[in-house]
Amino acid sequence: MIENLWAGWRGRYLSSLSKRSSNEASDLRESGSDPSIFTAILRSGLPDEETYIVRRSDQVFVILNAYPYAVGHTMVLPYRQVADLDELSPDESHDLWRTVTFVCRAIRREYAPEGVNVGLNMGPASGGSVNEHLHVHVVPRWTGDTNFLSVTANAKAIPEALDVTAARLRAALRDIESSPEGA
């Protein structure tokens, strides 16, 4: 069992750090900071097949994670580079969550996982590696998908190439969207 160690004085210190981080992030946005890797991919002009973008809608796009936790690990992002859910327009928010739902359906249909993790990291302390561009992870999961490789060798075996995963998910998403229940 985990025991709690109370250190109430740390609250004031941590609050000052988050205010400072928030102000620094705001300053970067106002100064026109560098584009995120996702914005750079969108601006690259490369075809979706090369960038592993599997779906585009009016407000958001879906891209495979280049370093997946599992086969089918995708991310749903707004085109516009924003760092927080609060910065999304109502249309962007609606399209984002609608697309997350489509992606979950496509992953279930194509890979039959036993579960799906859906999550996002906001802010530098959240553990995300690209904090400046909001993205929702959709990760299929299977019982026992953590095995000796990840435990002893700090490595994962991903048994499908990204281009194969992209093709499978593109087809599943097209099928779902064209079906009466997908619209």
Contact 78, 59 (CB under 8 A): yes
Amino acid at 52: Y
- Name the catalytic one among 73, 94, 133, 135: 135
Q: Verify whether residue 135 is a known catalytic residue.
A: yes
- b/e per residue, 120-146, with b = 16+ CB within 10 A? bbeebeeebebbbbbbbbbbbeeeebe
- Burial of residue 175 (number of CB atoms within 10 Å: 0-12, 13-18, 19+): middle
Amino acid at 168: R
Among all residues, which ones are annotated catalytic?
135
